[in-house]
Amino acid sequence: MTGAVFMHTLRHNWRAMLFWGSGISLIAFLQTALLPNVDMLQQIANLLSTLPPALVRALGGGDLTALATPEGFLSFRYFGFILIVFAVYALILGLNVTAAEEEQGMMDVLLSLPLARWRLVVEKLLAYALLIIAVGALSFVGLWLGVALTPALAIDPMKLLRGTVNILPGALLMLAATTLIAALVRRRGTAAALATIFLVGSYFLDFMGRAVSGTFLNTLTALSFFTYYDGGNVMQHGLVWGNMLLLLAVTVALAGAAVWVFQRRDIGV
Amino acid sequence: MNRAAPVIQTENLTKVYGNHQTPKPALHRLNLTVNPGEIFGYLGPNGAGKTTTIRLLLDLIRPTEGSARIFGQDARASSVELHRRVGFFPGELSLWKNLRGIEVVNYVSRVRRNLDTAYARQLAERLLLDLSLRVRSYSSGNRRKLGLVIALMHKPDLLILDEPTNGLDPLIQQTFYALAREIRGEGRTIFLSSHILSEVQAICDRVGILRGGELKAVERVDALTHADFRWVTLRFRESVTPELVAGVTGVSDVSAEDNALRLRYSGDFDPLLRAISSQYVRDIHVQEPTLEEIFLTFYGSNARTQAELSREAKS
């Protein structure tokens, strides 16, 4: 494996990665540094207990007792929604695996070189996966710094790390899903629209489904990758390895399908 | 490699775009052979199927029917291996705009696992291209020069060039022609698509003429040149009639308009100039014939395609 495409992809995307990583890291830092003291957390938990339970569940706050703890509150205020931001970053990267160069016409030059199509997709996917992990690492640094600078908070850094690691399978799944969509439809704009529908649809399916337990809609949440993320509980209960492995397995399947599709079809002009 | 074996050989190569309900035929049963060490001109108007052929040869698109072989290997099954020996210049060249010229060269050389870029720099110097600039700051002509550099930089055994001189200034066109002759001199092969007859005449050994997705003819360039003619427009100070050039050898299809005569002319210009010497000539405009006109001149209006001839032979 030459790794030329892998290295090129890293070399020309690390600045954007730093931008995304710094932004998410700042959000993480602010969420921890501005975390209220434990007494206030209890008041917030009391306030939340007055809301309809379905709404609290939909917002990712299942356990109101846990919300009164720093870990529970951080899950609610940060881990509950941050996968969406990671997924948007992954979506943008996924469009760059094949669609951007194909639409702009560079793909003809690239594939006229001694470079197999599968290798192009795999090297780019690996590079983008690494960039997503790097953004995750930066976000962890932001969380850790926030906690370190707030002595009133005593959150085990390992819990922060677990929460961060929990984000990655969902983000990688979004990268692979967007790559497959782009391989199928070729046009960047169309792929972006469909991938956005997939992302927003998955989020709302999970959001709405959780609010109405015991219904058919609740059953359908199994189709949403957000369901297997469970950012609201990871700090308290740890990683759910089964869910993570499931997301990673689907990611590999989607990436494989993208390679299969791209390998077999005409390159667009 | 067996030097006598064809570099490119296609067999009934066919490409139909669209679906079964609305098929859009782009190339129909192409049978073509390009020999080692020749510059083969692939001539045809826009939309004739030239780029489709090239993209099939490079495995960028897949044939609906038929096959293509390069250096004796299947263009699809052995594409990666073949691409090590092929240099490609696309007609609609697009490169990474945020990279510098040298970064594009380095990227391509890394993918090719050929890290020696000295020849690429030499080529850039010959083409008067500054590799230190970003692609986005290049003019379209300079982008095409960079495209030529990355097509030629690994000294490929086969160069596939899709209208390479479009947008190049005449001086650089001449440099390109010199490079093409050098490549042929080294025994390497060039497959060059063009819709410019003069370009093909300048450097090619043989020409394939494509029209409507069908290969109409394959000829040596000197044979095409033999059938050559020009459209000449003569502008006079006074009004003239076609009788002025009547009887001049090589003149035909004369029409008069205002103070001008437009005529089709073949042969040396001296007889024509002598015939009009009694008039005050304001301007002479000489225009090359279109491909269609050359084709009709060469084959007549009843020209049949290779496919038609093949069908007739079988029946």
Predicted complex ipTM exceeds 0.90? no
Helix H or strand E segment including B5: none
Q: Are residues B235 and B221 in the same domain?
A: no
Into how many domains does chain B fold?
Answer: 2
A31: which residues sit within 8 A by CB, 6+ positions away?
A74, A77, A78, A143, A146
In a domain, B34, yes or no: yes
In a domain, B139, yes or no: no
Query: What pLDDT score does B311 carry?
Result: 47
Query: What pLDDT score does B313 carry?
Result: 42
If one counts every other C-beta atom within 10 angstroms of the C-beta of residue B246, the result is 10
Q: Return the ∠ at Cα A180 (arms to A177 and A181), rounded to 5°.
A: 85
Q: Are residues B19 and B71 in the same domain?
A: yes
Query: What pLDDT score does B226 carry?
Result: 60
Residue B192 contacts residue B41 (beta carbons within 8 Å): yes
In a domain, B189, yes or no: yes
Reported as a single tens digit per residue, the pLDDT across A162-208 is: 999 999 999 999 999 999 999 999 899 999 999 999 999 999 998 88
In chain A, which residues have pLDDT < 50? 1
- Tell me how far apart the alpha carbons of residues B191 and B189 are, in angstroms, rounded to a whole number: 7
- Name the token pair of B248: 């001049």
Query: What pLDDT score does A36 carry?
Result: 64
Query: What pLDDT score does B26 carry?
Result: 93
The one-letter amino acid at B161: L
Average pLDDT over residues B271-286: 94
Q: Are residues B164 and B274 in the same domain?
A: no
The answer to whether the CB atoms of A4 and B61 lie below 8 A apart is: no
Average pLDDT, rounded, for chain B:
88
In chain B, residues with a C-beta closer than 8 Å to the C-beta of A12 are 96, 98-99
Q: Are residues B47 and B161 in the same domain?
A: yes
B158 inside 8 A of chain A by CB: no
Query: What pLDDT score does A60 carry?
Result: 58
Q: Look at residue B141 and tell me whether its pLDDT is greater than 60.
A: yes
Q: Look at residue B21 and tell me whether its pLDDT is greater than 90.
A: no
Reported as a single tens digit per residue, the pLDDT across A74-95 is: 887 788 889 999 999 999 999 9
Q: Are residues B80 and B161 in the same domain?
A: yes
Query: What pLDDT score does A75 carry?
Result: 82
Q: Are residues B245 and B210 in the same domain?
A: no
| Cβ-based burial of B12 (10 A; exposed 0-12, middle 13-18, buried ≥19) | middle
- Phi/psi for A72 (5° steps) reads -65, -40
In a domain, B126, yes or no: no
Chain A residues in contact with chain B using a Cβ-Cβ cutoff of 8 Å: 2, 4-5, 7-8, 12, 104-116, 264-267, 269
Q: Are residues B236 and B218 in the same domain?
A: no
Query: What pLDDT score does A218 carry?
Result: 84
pLDDT band at B306 (very low <50, low <70, confident <90, very high): very low
Which of B51, B88, B113 has the CB atom closest to A112's CB atom? Answer: B88
In a domain, B26, yes or no: yes
Q: Are residues B166 and B281 in the same domain?
A: no
CATH number, domain containing residue B238: 3.30.70.100
Residue B234 contacts residue B286 (beta carbons within 8 Å): no
Q: Are residues B165 and B275 in the same domain?
A: no
CATH number, domain containing residue B203: 3.40.50.300
Give the chain B residue whose CA is nearest to the CA of A118. Answer: B80
Range of the domain at B37: 8-85+156-226
In a domain, B245, yes or no: yes
Reported as a single tens digit per residue, the pLDDT across B201-217 is: 889 999 998 888 999 88
Q: Are residues B192 and B240 in the same domain?
A: no
Query: What pLDDT score does A261 carry?
Result: 97
In a domain, B234, yes or no: yes
pLDDT band at B314 (very low <50, low <70, confident <90, very high): very low
Q: Are residues B276 and B169 in the same domain?
A: no
Reported as a single tens digit per residue, the pLDDT across B79-101 is: 999 999 999 999 889 999 999 99
In a domain, B220, yes or no: yes
Q: Are residues B161 and B261 in the same domain?
A: no
pTM: 0.83
